Structure 1
Amino acid sequence: MHYLLLVYSIWILNACQAKTNSADMNTQRINIIEAVEKNQLSVVEAGLKKGADANTTDKNKRSLLLIATQANNLQMATLLVAHGANVNQQDQIKDSPFLYAGAAGFTELVKLFLAHGARFDLFNRYNGTALIPACERGHIDVVKILANTKGFPVDHVNRLGWTALMEAVVLGNGSEKYVTVVQLLVNAGCNIQIPDHDGVTALQHARSRGYTEIAGVLENASAKKNGKE
């Protein structure tokens, strides 16, 4: 009888300890999330040195690094990456630090993530790359970097049936920055002949919208390609 009481007492103590440890871990998790959100760099650094997980996520599965990325906080992102934060970790809507940085035009963060293992085979909720929304929004510096990064899938087609080039034409407004984006893609060797789901090419879309400068860039690219052939 005394033996059973002893075993039971030990079990109770262990259960209480487990609950305490769990509560402590949850508190630590919440604290470091808040510290990243509030840009408390020293607090985050201290927490990481004490063993906090650099890949901690919030209720929406946003990692600490994604939270820092969404705030365009290069200093915080650099700290987190130095402690092993995953630049490819996706949240519940498939945003990752790398994908978000590209879409938002955060050039320095894109560079940081490329230097720390950014993957090109993980896609956003539209099954798109970091380059496609960068082209859509006219983020010239990001387009220049990604389009010229070895191994980057410049001609990837997203769920809408559009490449980066197609989005620059269809969702752009034909202004100078989109002319530059198209030229950058052409210079990087993109395939200008890939049509959308309706069989319409980027050049045909540019002509129908009256984007004469973009059409000119694509016509020149086509002429050069045909000349080589």
Structure 2
Amino acid sequence: MEPWTDIKAKLFADPVLSVKEDTVNYKGHPIHYRQGVSSTVDQVRGTLLFLHGQSFKSQTWHDLGTLHFMANAGYNAVAIDLPGYGKTESFSYGGQAPFLLGVKEALGLKDTPVIIISPSMSGGFSIPLLFSNPEAFKGYLPVAPVNTASHTHKEYSAVKIPTCIVYGENDKGLGVASFRDLSNIPNKQVHVLSGAGHAAYMNSPGEFHQILLNFSEKLFS
């Protein structure tokens, strides 16, 4: 595979690809987001919603080249700043699952099942939604998310959402713990990224993006 740095350089230099920034309103609060755009795509193949970990923000997915990469592949790739991160101010939003569902609706995706990519801290938002509103998901791609222990293995065994579990080989904490719980989801695939740590997508970007693309193509074929 071509080095990710080279792939990313080509994507960033491609004049048909760009990332737009905007906000949507959630109960009177502006939620900042970034969206990958390709001027040559008339109809997107599907939508991906990117969350982020505690040390990151939507800009992480921009800087990594993810939004360009998925837009280039024909997808609507949207990354949001969760409350208190990036350009979204901190505010009292109530439950995490209702917040995520409300933002999805504010983005014009109310009745659109999406693939939700959820690393680390953002599991506090995505895991509850997995159980309260499974219809919101086309698929789920967790990367060592928190909050998996809030549900039982029996509950996970009833989840029908196609799931792509990703974690780093060297993530002996959350990576292993979250996998132990999420592995009870029947319709799953598992990818352990060699030599990667907790933020596995940062350590092994080439492998991560190929996994993401393959999962998206399978679900939106």
User: Normalising by the residue count of structure 1, what TM-score does the alignment of the two structures yield?
Assistant: 0.32
Relative to total residues, which structure has the larger strand share, 1 or 2?
2
Higher helix share: 1
TM-score (norm 2): 0.33
**Considering only CA atoms, is the larger Rg found in Structure 1 or Structure 2?**
1
